Amino acid sequence: MLNPFFMKKVAVIIINYNSTDFTISCINSILEKTPESFEYGIVVVDNNSQIAAYEHLQEALKDNNKVGIYRSKINLGFSGGNMFGLQHAQAGYYFFLNNDCELLNDNLSMLYDFMQQHPEAAIACGQMFNTDLSPHHSFNYLPELSLKLFGSGIVRLFNKESYPKKKATYTQPLKVPLLTGAALFVDYKKLSEVSGLDTNYFLYCEEEDLARKLKDKGYSCYLVPEAKFVHHMGQSTSRSYDIEKEYYISLLYYHRKHNNYLAYLLFKGLYFFKNFRKLYKGSLYLKLSLFILRGAPMKYSLKHRQQIAPR
């Protein structure tokens, strides 16, 4: 196990939830691509997986002194799991990495060096690729009202810097509005200034919330295309009505938190009509529409339905 008080340059935080094989592949890619001389540690948070999956993880990683495994007796979700992992290693930077990612090169050293050279940067991320190695955008836009009403093409005409093209190929570091939650390389000091990840979010909108909080502090997010990684998207979370509800619970919580009440009502109306016009596709969209109209209350979050492990 990692010594939780041993200072590292970088601590990688990986959440495992019933997807142990992905976690092992992710860790192996880190070990393979990161020089032995680089000071880092890996913290794996088992988010109350089935006991067989957890024991498989323990057995696979038991002889690796760079990896510590810490089991939560309840599923804490994305934000809660990462904040739980953060407590088990001290580092200047934390790399919140999805377990369905694999590094293609030395992301840790590259992102660490970039952050050291750019003190205004709070978060960095490498260039993401799909499983077939086709490029996929690593950044997105904050959910602003103008973007929802007019689309990125129109708002880019008036604010090009805040809306860089997602599908373009970049070879130099680029300041972006927010980065994918799959691979967030974060400056701990700046993260602590905004109280870390908001654990009210269970599965979605954590990266939007974090980027917004850091932006309000005057910090920036950067794409660093030199660092490259694969994200086997959708492998760690299956889709269902509950998952679709969770998305809107998080999204409307974000708008209540960061916008005035009128803007919140406008966003709620937009999301309602977005789903209501799809009624012909099935009853799912009627249920979602009515749920959004109620404000997607936080009390229905999957976070509040998790059970404590019996052992």
* Per-residue pLDDT tens digits for 24-44: 999 999 999 999 999 999 999
Q: Which residues lie across from 43 on neighbouring strands?
A: 13, 68
User: For position 63, what pLDDT does the model report?
Assistant: 86
CA dihedral angle for residue 181, residue 74, residue 301, residue 14, rounded to 10 degrees: 10
User: For position 237, what pLDDT does the model report?
Assistant: 55
| Dist CA 94 CA 15 (whole Å) | 13
Q: Are 249 and 262 contacting, i.e. CB atoms less than 8 angstroms apart?
A: no
Q: Can you say whether residue 44 is alpha, beta or left, with left for phi > 0 and alpha for psi between -120 and 50 degrees?
A: beta
**Residue 125 C-alpha from the chain's centroid:** 11
What are the DSSP calls for 88-106, one per residue? T-EEEEEEEE-TTEEESS-
Q: Are 99 and 19 contacting, i.e. CB atoms less than 8 angstroms apart?
A: yes
Mean pLDDT of the chain: 93
pLDDT digits (tens, 9 = 90+) for 247-289: 999 999 999 999 999 999 999 999 999 999 999 999 999 999 9
User: For position 274, what pLDDT does the model report?
Assistant: 94
Whether 230 shows a pLDDT value over 70: the answer reads yes
Range with lowest mean pLDDT among 26-30, 194-198, 235-239: 235-239
User: For position 5, what pLDDT does the model report?
Assistant: 42
- For residue 238, what pLDDT band results from cuts at 50, 70 and 90? low
For residue 144, what is the DSSP state?
Answer: -
Whether 183 shows a pLDDT value over 50: the answer reads yes
Single-letter code of the amino acid located at 177 = P
| Dist CA 38 CA 82 (whole Å) | 22
